Amino acid sequence: MGNHTTASTFFLWGFSSFPDLQILLFVMIFFSHVTILTANLFIMVAIKLSHNLHIPMYFLLCGLSFSETCTTLVIIPRMLVDLLSDSKMISFLECATQMFFFFGLSSNNCFIMTSMAYDRYTAIHNPLHYSMLITRKVCFQLMMASWVIGFLVSLCIVIIVFNLSFCDSKTIQHFFCDIAPVVSLACDSTSLHEVVIFVLSAFVLVGSFIFIMISYVFIVSIVVKMPSAKGRYKAFSTCSSHLTMVSIHYGFASFVYLRPKNSDSFREDMLMAVIYTVLTPLLSPIVYSLRNKEMQLALRKVLENANRFIHHLANKRTINIF
């Protein structure tokens, strides 16, 4: 009991075991982060300005892009600072806040992907009544439900984790305040806490994934019965980008959060978390834009307008100089 203490700060060990690679990691992660922010910004602007994209599928995609952008902002800036800093201390409150927003936004991403699967099922199963079934109001309700449920689950996890008593060791074997590395520092018996956290994580990951897979089972059963090969190709093409990102997102997330934990697994989890927090948000806008002709046209228009605006500012500046 003498080792029990009220933690005021933690030390994020992160990439300290790779001192020679920290500058290289900083450069790679920095440019990846800039690319993520730029790509998601262009997608959101393209959807906003293109009237032909004002349909439920793109409304949900815009919400997913915004949520993924926020997720990276919770993790990556702090990671970049720590890569260049000798002091990697994070306060108790900052750690709890980071965990709350990261898991809340990550859960929100899962539920938005589930809403996108339901949207695609409705569009293929009942195309004649699609506009009446999936209205702007329904999309807004699905989006709000995703945010509310995601952050409620996250709040429950944060309360469970940070009500534990922590030992003298304050070193978190990770580059951010993830659940398992923080729980491993507790002096309390954490078996019950870990079971509850696992159930909540499974509710988010497994529950939403099962719903997505059920939607796609129905979608496939409908598409294979279509008499037109062109119709089948169009139906599958509208779902391919979403299904690709579902596979990537749930594959890495399940590996990190649903497999059994021990002290030796934190290093592997940390490396997988880099992919989950950096590579997945980087791939998402690329997949959704490269595999969608309507999105490509909208992005091209945004880029053309941006180039015109830049040329206009350059010409105006030249005129002012002379």
The tens digit of pLDDT for each residue in 6-23 reads: 557 888 888 877 778 888
pLDDT greater at residue 299 or residue 192: 192
* Residue 3: band (very low, low, confident or very high) from pLDDT cuts 50, 70, 90: very low
- Tens digits of per-residue pLDDT, 58-82? 899 999 999 999 999 999 999 999 8
Distance between CA atoms of residues 26 and 69, nearest Å: 19
pLDDT greater at residue 168 or residue 103: 103
Q: Taking residues 246-263, report their average pLDDT.
A: 80
Which domains are delineated in the chain?
9-321 (1.20.1070.10)
The answer to whether residues 104 and 150 touch, using CB atoms and an 8 Å cutoff, is yes
State if pTM tops 0.85: yes
Give the side-chain half-sphere CA count within 13 A for 167.
13
* Residue 264: band (very low, low, confident or very high) from pLDDT cuts 50, 70, 90: low
Q: Mean pLDDT of all residues in the chain?
A: 84
pLDDT of residue 266: 66
Helices (H), the chain: 22-49, 56-84, 92-125, 130-133, 136-162, 179-183, 191-202, 208-223, 229-257, 265-274, 280-290, 293-321
Q: Taking residues 119-148, report their average pLDDT.
A: 90
pLDDT of residue 312: 62
pLDDT at residue 210 greater than cutoff 90: yes
